[in-house]
Amino acid sequence: MPDEVARRSCTFVAGGERRRCISRRWDLHRAFLRAFSSIHTHLYELSGGTIGARVRAAPVLVLTTRGRRSGKLRTTPLLYLTDGERLVVVASNGGAPRNPGWFFNLEAHPDAVVQVRREHRRVQARRATAEERDRYWRQLVAIYPAYESYRAKTSREIPLVVLEPRDRVTDRNDQKPSYSPDS
């Protein structure tokens, strides 16, 4: 009986090799987060950032990246910190042992697009330097204290990503501009 329960909560690949075990509870949690993220992104985009612009006291942007394997455009809402023209985002993944997918996408394709309220910006991503990291981390924890608990939950160093402006595309007609991170 215990083997039967273990088999039901594991994912298998061809040949019956065990790839990874994930509890049903985690699968439900992940499904909920994906659905919430999708709804949040759509409301943010449709309202020009009026709905979903903040989570608690932290501001929210929508990041569009190119998938590292699929090549498809992927969007995700993220909390951010402003440093002049730069935006700083945290690849916390809620303290999970692995970095979020958008982080791997940016490593493969550092050119991306962000939406901050009604404004769309082309950006280029890079990891924060050690000096930037120390300064930014304190500021990020001040606006969203849960980051500290995420750091305590994981053994990996949570990356901070600096999004530097390439150019600005202003949405003057309340329509989403037609461009991709590569343009």
Residue 175 has pLDDT above 80, yes or no: no
Phi, psi torsion values for 154, nearest 5 degrees:
-120, 155
3-state secondary structure of 118: coil
- The domain locations on the chain are 22-170
Is pLDDT above 60 for 3?
A: no
* CATH superfamily label, 22-170: Electron Transport, Fmn-binding Protein; Chain A (2.30.110.10)
Cβ atoms of residues 150 and 94 within 8 Å: yes
Annotate 17-32 with b (16+ C-beta within 10 A) or e (fewer): eeeeeeeeeeeeeeee
State the average pLDDT over residues 50-56. 73
**pLDDT tens, position by position, 94-150:** 888 999 999 999 999 999 999 998 899 999 999 999 999 999 999 999 999 999 999
